[in-house]
Amino acid sequence: MNVLSTLVFTQPVLHGYFRSSCSWRVRIALALKGIEYDQVAVNLIKDGGQQLTHEYKTLNPMQQVPAVEIDGITLSQSLAVIQYIDETRPGPRLLPSEPKKRAQVRMISDLIASGIQPLQNLHVIQKIGAEKVQWAQHFIHRGFDALEPMLKQTAGKYCVGDELSMADICLVPQVYNAERFKVDMSMYPTIQRLNQSLLEVEAFQVSHPSCQPDTPAELRA
């Protein structure tokens, strides 16, 4: 029996924050797959951080966003959510079927999701204090210095060849963060080119932080 045939599919509920890069990754994946979902805003700043409440901790013990309720389970790591969606829903593949390309997609995604983004997320930045911009710039540069030559080897129209993948889903939010921290992107022409191409894709536009229900009015597109 096909395992998928035993699953009861439900409309996902995404608990996230408009400017969270991890939440944005999930929004992009859902949009690429054409999956309708509900959003519950978790404001990371208001009331001392709504992710720190006991109620939210039951959804995500790490008290981070996103948390996604889907098919009777709750998932709380963006790459795990994306891979689950890819394995259970029809639509364009987010990980290539060919093993070498799939490994490249995972390599790029992990570099961003583990090697860059956590070092400049809100919890870390709040601990750094006055030097937060310099801290973020340092670790984004360090990651992009590795990512740029890597992408020169793997990229076609997108991060790995000419098909959209989880690597692209990770790239765009990280470039958005780099621009927020005023990183000089002229040093990374391949990253810039890919980001510009991806921002022309509808799924990346509708999921953008400027277009979410919890986006403050002054930041809306």
Q: Give the closest residue to 173 by CA, choosing from 191, 190, 150.
A: 191
CATH architecture assignment, domain 99-205: Up-down Bundle (1.20)
* CA separation for the pair 135, 153 (Å, rounded): 28
**Dihedral sign of CA atoms 26, 32, 37, 41 in order:** positive
Tokens 């790029």, residue?
A: 108
pTM recorded for the entire structure: 0.95
Distance from CA of residue 113 to its chain's centroid?
A: 8
- Residue pLDDT, tens place only, 2-19: 556 556 788 999 999 999
| In the chain, % of residues over pLDDT 90 | 92
**CATH value of 12-92+207-219 in 1.10.357.10, 2.30.110.10, 3.40.30.10, 3.40.190.10:** 3.40.30.10
What band does 199 get if pLDDT is binned at 50, 70 and 90? very high
Per-domain residue ranges of the chain: 12-92+207-219, 99-205
What's the confidence (pLDDT) of residue 167?
99
Q: What is the mean pLDDT of residues 175-190?
A: 97
CB 16 within 8 A of CB 157: no
* CA separation for the pair 198, 164 (Å, rounded): 9
Q: What is the mean pLDDT of residues 70-79?
A: 97
- Residue pLDDT, tens place only, 112-167: 999 999 999 888 998 998 999 999 999 999 999 999 999 999 999 999 999 999 99
